[in-house]
């Protein structure tokens, strides 16, 4: 979509107005600074998806809509989580973090702040384990995605 102020609010407004669900939403600039790419995860049936896609296309700032539902793609989301960790459990937690290829980004006597990226399954699995130790705060970005392979679903944003 066009990289104009207000476009994000238009898309979010469209979803809420028509009762479509937004499970998560991320947006960022592409290779072309006048174009941004927004990735939305939504839950619904075929009819709802067709309607979402058509209504989005009607928005003049939207240049192209791609449905990644059944397309092989790489999904990533970033999660920052603050976990209770006294001296007894710190090392154990750090082992788990390494297994998940995460990073410790902050630490004090009572807690560890961990940064982890991955698809939804990996993040959920990690958080499931961390729950046992006591999660103080979770901050998640929501999914973004890129199609696998050489074929591009669109060549928007390539300069």
Bridge partners of 35?
Answer: 2
CA atoms of 143 and 24, how far apart (whole Å) = 7
Min dist CB 37 to another protein, Å, is: 13
Estimate to the nearest angstrom the gap between the alpha carbon of 154 and the chain centroid: 20
Q: Is 32 in the site for another protein (CB under 8 A)?
A: no
Min dist CB 47 to another protein, Å, is: 8
Residue 6, Cβ density class (10 Å: 0-12 exposed, 13-18 middle, ≥19 buried)? exposed
Question: With respect to another protein, which residue has the nearer C-beta, 48 or 127?
Answer: 48
- The Cβ of residue 79 has, within 10 Å, a number of other Cβ atoms equal to 20
- Which of these segments, 22-30, 55-63, 88-96, 123-131, binds another protein (CB under 8 A)? 55-63
Q: Is 54 in the site for another protein (CB under 8 A)?
A: yes
Q: Is 1 in the site for another protein (CB under 8 A)?
A: yes
Q: Is 28 in the site for another protein (CB under 8 A)?
A: no
**Residue ranges in 57-76 that form contacts with another protein under rule CB under 8 A:** 57-63
Contact 102, 116 (CB under 8 A): yes
Contact 54, 86 (CB under 8 A): no
Min dist CB 78 to another protein, Å, is: 29
Which residues contribute to the site for another protein (CB under 8 A)? 1-2, 10, 13, 17, 47, 50-51, 54-55, 57-63
């Amino acid at each position: 979509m066009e990289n104009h102020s207000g476009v994000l609010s238009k898309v979010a407004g469209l979803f809420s107005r028509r009762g479509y669900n937004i499970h998560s939403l991320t947006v960022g600039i592409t290779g072309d600074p006048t174009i941004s790419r927004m990735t939305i995860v939504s839950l619904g049936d075929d009819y709802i998806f067709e309607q979402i896609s058509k209504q989005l296309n009607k928005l003049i700032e939207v240049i192209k809509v791609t449905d990644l539902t059944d397309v092989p793609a790489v999904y990533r989301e970033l999660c920052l989580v603050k976990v209770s960790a006294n001296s007894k459990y710190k090392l154990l937690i750090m082992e788990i973090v390494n297994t998940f290829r995460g990073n410790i980004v902050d630490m004090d006597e009572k807690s560890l702040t961990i940064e982890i990226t991955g698809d939804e399954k990996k993040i959920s699995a990690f958080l499931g384990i961390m729950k046992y130790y006591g999660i103080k705060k979770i901050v998640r970005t929501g999914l973004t995605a890129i199609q696998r392979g050489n074929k591009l679903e669109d060549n928007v944003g390539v300069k």
